[in-house]
Amino acid sequence: MDTERAEGIVLRRQPVTESSLLVTWYTREFGKLKTLAKGARRPKGPFQGKIDLFYRDEIVFLPNRRSDLHLLHDCFLEEPYARLRESVESLAAASYVCELVEMATELEDPNVKIHSLLTAILDALERRNSAVLLIWFELQLLAAAGWAPKWQTTTSVNKVLRSLASTSLKGVERVRLSTEQIVASQQVVWQLWDAELGRRPRTRQFLERKIKN
According to DSSP, the residues that pair with 34 across neighbouring strands are 24, 69
Query: What kind and span of H or E run contains 8?
Result: strand 4-15
Is the whole model's pTM more than 0.75, yes or no?
A: yes
Q: In the chain, how long is the greatest CA-to-CA distance?
A: 58
pLDDT single digits (tens) 69-84 = 999 999 999 999 999 9
pLDDT single digits (tens) 139-190 = 999 999 999 998 877 899 999 999 999 999 999 999 999 999 999 999 999 9
> What's CA 25's distance to the chain center, in Å?
10
Q: What is the pLDDT of residue 1?
A: 64
- Work out the percent of the chain whose per-residue pLDDT is above 90: 91
- 140-151 core/surface letters (b: 16 or more CB in 10 A; e: else): bbbebbeeebee
Q: What is the pLDDT of residue 153?
A: 78
pLDDT single digits (tens) 92-140 = 999 999 999 999 999 999 999 999 999 999 999 999 989 999 999 999 9
